[in-house]
Amino acid sequence: MANVTIGHVKCPIMGDNAEVRRDKKRKLYYVGLAGKMTPNLIGGQKWLEENTRFINGNGEPLTKVTAESIAEKIEITEVKPEVKPVNENAPPKKEKSLLNFLFDE
Percent of the chain residues past pLDDT 90, beyond the cut: 31
Predicted pLDDT at 56: 73
Q: Phi and psi (nearest 5°) for 59?
A: -100, 25
Q: How confident is the model at residue 92 (pLDDT cuts 50, 70, 90)?
A: low
Contact 37, 43 (CB under 8 A): no
> What DSSP string describes 28-60?
EEEEETTEEE---SHHHHHHHHHH-EESTTTTP
For residues 72 and 70, what is the distance between their CA atoms, to the nearest angstrom?
5
Domain extents in the chain: 1-105
For residues 93 and 80, what is the distance between their CA atoms, to the nearest angstrom?
31
Predicted pLDDT at 81: 80
Residue 60 has pLDDT above 60, yes or no: no
Predicted pLDDT at 59: 55
Query: Does pTM top 0.75 for this prediction?
Result: no
